[in-house]
Structure formats: C-alpha cells, structure tokens
Amino acid sequence: MAFWQSFFGPRVNDVIRRLRQFDAYPKPLEDFRVKTFGGAAVTIISGCIMFILFLSELHYYMTKEVRPELFVDTTRGDKLNINLDVTFPHMPCAFLTLDAMDVSGEQQIDVAHTLYKKRLDRHGHGITQEDEKHAELGKSEELIDVKKLSPDRCESCYGAKTEDLECCNSCEDVREAYRRKGWAFKTPELIEQCKREGFTQRVHEQKGEGCQVYGFLEVNKVAGNFHFAPGKSFQQAHVHVHALELQDFNPFGSEKFNLTHYINHLSFGQEYPGIKNPLDGTKAVAHEDSVMFQYFVKVVPTVYIKSDGEILSAREPCEWRRPMG
C-alpha cells in the first residue's frame, strides 16, 4: 500500500476512502444489530451451498452434452475399410490367402494390394531382408534374373493354356493355368519358370515359419465375409475353392494345417479416440489339426458430430465366435 501511495500520491487515498464509504445496502445502527450463533451458521451454510451450486453449474456448462439418436442408414454405394493385424505363428506366408465376398456378388480373391505379409521365424520374430539375403547365399541352384528376359516372350503353359491365357511367363501364370484346367500342381521342379524363380526353394525355406498379415480391406457396406485360409483360392464352376497344392512340399502334410492365430487389431471404418474393438487381443489356439474358426460380427454404423461441426463416421462391432473341426 505504501508503494502505491508513494507512486500515485494523495489520489490513491481519496479513491480508497470513497470505496470504503460505498455500500449498496445501508447498514443498521450498531444498537439494532444482534449477533447470534444461528445467524452465523446460516450465513456459512448458505455461502457453501452457493459455492457448490456455482461449481455444479460451471461443470454443466463446460461439459459437452451427448445426444444419442437412432436413424436408418440410407447411404448406398459407400465403401467400408476393415483394418486388421493378425498373426499366424504356424502358417507360412506362402500358403496363406485372404479372400472377401459379399451378398452383392462382389469377390476379392487373394487380396494383396492393400495388405502386407511379414514372415516370422519359429520364435515369432520377424524375418528381415538381411536374413533372406543370407538364406539366398546357400542356394545350390543358380537363379535367373527375370528382368534380363525379353518382355515380348511367350512361354509354354505346359498343356494348360486357354484362350485368355496363352502365354505363361512366370511360375504364377503356370499355376493359374493349371487351376483353370482343374489340374494338380505337383511338379514345379520340372517347370522352367518355377525353376528359375526358385519356387520350390522358397517353399522349403518357409516350412515351419509363421506369418503376420496387416493392412486393410475395402469392402461394400453390405453383409458378407472375409476369411483366411491355406492354399490358393479361385472360382471353379461358380464355386469358391481353396486348393492346397504342392502336397509334397507343404508343411501340413496332405490335409493337416494349424490355424492358431492372434488378432492384434481388428476394427471397422474410421478410428476415433476411446473406441473399443472387442476382438483386439483375441487368441485362438487350435488344439487339433485342421480346425476352422468362425467369427460372427455385427457392425453398427455410428456417426459422431463434434461441437465444431466435424463429423466422424465409425463402426462399432459386436462379435460371437466358435471353433469348427
């Protein structure tokens, strides 16, 4: 106070005096004042109640109000992203495929353009490019660089060519031609395209490995299914078929395979903070050979409108599952 008085001079004293005299309500004379314990208690309690009411109203004002509303989704033609990250500790990447199909008839066979496969060793650790290069040093058969071959070449399909597939310039082309004919693909070591690409060697290298599949699928907003399965998938006589080729080379024998898996992440649509995905962290162990797992998922489209007008479109899933032998 002395600082302000020395700095501003007598004007401060005049202002303070006027403030002390100001009173919105006239005070009664001292002779008419009666001070009691009850009055003091009422004053204190009233002050506390007013303070609590103030905090309550402030909290209500600062809290965003959530107004749930149920409506029919009438949008058509929109796409839905399925985000997934699944680990198969006993299924090599060379034998694992992912297909998607829906009630509208659309099918996605062996989806690869939006998904990634990561090879895992027996201990579940990722196999790096350095490990692959190290393994290639031990190959006894010299591989041919496909880039050095003529792009205009037309190689044999070994008797399986069709009108729309007359040239088989890669091992995959030969396998596709065999699938269209319904033939078994049992002797890749006798096919020149497979020999130069080291197909048989790659199959042997991945024996006993696992696979991590991650990425996303883009599907229609209609009922459907997507599934992981061993072997190559294709359409034959309007039937969706999975063929376990290379019985002499695959790690399951002729029929047995292990689809034990861990669902690290599975969500539908746009991610937003606080969403709960019930299948995250799911572990499914196959205690018998050739067991199939089925998950029945109901996806409810949900729209969140923020206070600033931003719209978040999410999908909240609920699930039910069962193993099938």
| Plot region of 40 (φ>0 → left; ψ -120 to 50 → alpha; else → beta) | alpha
Lowest mean pLDDT among 1-15, 41-55, 83-97, 113-127: 1-15
Per residue in 96-127, pLDDT tens? 888 898 888 888 888 888 899 998 988 888 88
Cα–Cα distances (Å) from 28 to 19, 40, 165, in that order, read: 19, 17, 108
Positive/negative CA dihedral, 137, 134, 86, 100: negative
User: What's the pLDDT band for 249 if we cut at 50, 70, 90?
Assistant: very low
Exposed (0-12), middle (13-18) or buried (19+): which is 95, by Cβ within 10 Å?
Answer: buried
Is the pLDDT confidence value at 235 over 50? yes
For the chain, domain boundaries: 79-141+208-324, 145-197
